[in-house]
Amino acid sequence: MTDAIQKELKFLVESHLSFIYPNADNGELADRLMAIMELDGSCMKPGVHANSWSQKDIFTITYGDSIRRDGEEPLETLHTFFNERLKDVVSGIHILPFFPYSSDDGFSVIDYTRVNDAIGEWEHIVEIGKEYNLMADLVINHCSSRSGWFDNFKQRKSPGADYFIETDPNTDLSEVVRPRTTPLLREVETLNGKRHVWCTFSPDQVDLNFANPEVVCEMVGIIKLYLDRGVRTFRLDAVAFLWKEIGTSCINHPKTHEFVRLFRTLIEHHSPDAIIITETNVPNHENLSYFGNANEAHAVYNFSLPPLLVNALVTGNSNHLKMWQMSMPPAQMGTFFLNFIASHDGIGLRPAEGLLNEEEIDALANTMQNFGARISWRTAEGGRPKPYEINVTLFDALQGTVRGPDKWQIERFICAHGIMFSLEGVPAIYIHSFLATNNYSEGVDLTNHNRTINRYKWDYDELCEKLDDGYSHHCKVLQRMRELLAIRIKQPAFHPNATQFTLHLGEQVFGFWRQSLKRDQSIFCIHNISDTEVAIPLSSINLISLNTWEDLVSGEKYTDLHKDLVLGPYDFVWLTNKPGV
């Protein structure tokens, strides 16, 4: 690193810190953070508005032990499965928290520096990172009440004595936004008597105190460790809740945004191709704010997509989906949307607020309950409960419509993924969507935890038998998904930042137009999201008659543009003037 870049970097780090800690002398802290990251030699200045991604980038979301085989570490089994079944169509793997934990399936971290010995070791993580873009969670807002830091807090010794947020229980905290119904404060016995600590998510997940610079140093050290172990994509878990200020909502605080900018500055100067993704399960406009001016997150989760897409497919009406898509600003160069429609958590409903009304959200939740879903709740204004999340596997969520189950489950499920694979952004597919896993209701009964319904652990041999049998829905879905992804990765018009415009072809149809960055390929993506046949005049799609148009999905060519495009229930086409190779 040249002296000029070194000086510029220190200026940037100090600027971030001065906003967060305005009354402190931040020069020494800036030097300390740069030293932790070893930013003192050959690092390069990151590019501005540079894309280090393309249509070939596709993530899978999975737990380290989602697939297990007797006599083998789960991370080894996972690596084998990806190499055998998905390597040619998946470029990145998001391994959900793989650390020792005490609850919430990994999101209550006991030790950030170790791999959970129940699933493997660091060497397994490193090996996966050599072949795939490895995404890891930076569980930044809180840690486990069984962590060494919290033990030290109770013993009043360092490190940890001042790592947590103590609050008088008589304080008015009514403005604080809560994602859960559990009490915000937890009483704990310490050597200095009873104290009350802040717990946004659960009594076992104790919020870290970022007003203490020592906590920042600890977290930056963890970031450096992950980089050294091959992590190139950081998912900042629950980051929206990071900074607490009494008298505010304690969500999306300006200082929280500044922390994202600080972490980006440090990470980019260490590894210019590294990526930060913010996990902010909040209403749409709040979520988009984490792009900043292309100087915060490289990517944000498209949280409104899952509830709106599922709602469209079970109602047969695309109007809300289209209205939302038209309101979405295109991601600036150097940023992208991470598109997902299923995850380890469920279908979040807060991102649908303001897009669906309360009656529509309740109707969606009721339909999903008829398909075996569970509903998780949050405490809203005035202490009243509101549905927060639908817990269900996506395959079972799409088993029917508002009228009940029907025969179109696989077609509806594939249509949902056809939409996600062709939208602006990078797709992220939950492992249980690839495998078309059904609701694990027995697991919910065992754990009394709603999210367990979508966290089944497959036996490797049993899974392979189903995937190879030629007739199970697991086999059919994986084959169709692989075929669609193999098409996607060849199309320049499916670049995450390629142009996108919404088409208006009736409420039963969800369509949009994509154009490559070089403007040499167009794709019209037209999806029937209903259980009845639709006919669309080709003349209404504005296809240029001088071109030859081909459906990438079926291979069919369209030469007579005066005919109708006929789509059966949940059929879709990707019409292009220039198939990618």
Binding site, residues?
A: 104, 142, 235-237, 344-345, 451
574 Cβ partners below 8 Å, 6+ apart? Answer: 418, 422, 487, 491, 523, 524, 525, 551, 552, 553
8 Å CB contact between 350 and 281: yes
Q: How far is CA 539 from CA 502, 533, 542, 557, in A?
A: 16, 18, 6, 15
Identify any residues that bridge with 378 across adjacent strands, giving them in sequence order.
Answer: 386
552 Cβ partners below 8 Å, 6+ apart? Answer: 487, 491, 523, 573, 574, 575, 576, 579
**Dihedral angle computed from the Cα positions of residues 144, 146, 147 and 149, in that order, rounded to the nearest 10 degrees:** 100
Which helix (H) or strand (E) segment holds residue 225: the answer is: helix 213-228
Annotated binding site for substrate: 104, 142, 235-237, 344-345, 451
Q: CA–CA separation, 425 vs 264, rounded Å?
A: 20
User: Helix, strand, coil shares of the chain as percentages rounded to 5?
Assistant: 35, 20, 45
Task: Identify the residue whose tokens are 């291979």.
Answer: 555
Q: How far is CA 53 from CA 92, 340, 341, 354, 425, in A?
A: 11, 17, 20, 31, 10
Identify any residues that bridge with 144 across adjacent strands, giving them in sequence order.
Answer: 205
Q: Is the bond leading into 159 cis (omega within 30 degrees of zero)?
A: yes
Catalytic residue among 204, 237, 531, 551: 237
8 Å CB contact between 277 and 319: no
Q: CA–CA separation, 483 vs 487, rounded Å?
A: 6
The 3-state DSSP class for residue 273 equals coil
- Residue 282 phi/psi, 5-degree rounding, is -135, 170
Q: Is 237 a catalytic residue?
A: yes
Task: Identify the residue whose tokens are 């659960």.
Answer: 202
- Residue 375 phi/psi, 5-degree rounding, is -115, 130
8 Å CB contact between 278 and 239: yes
Length of the chain: 581
Residue numbers annotated as active site: 237
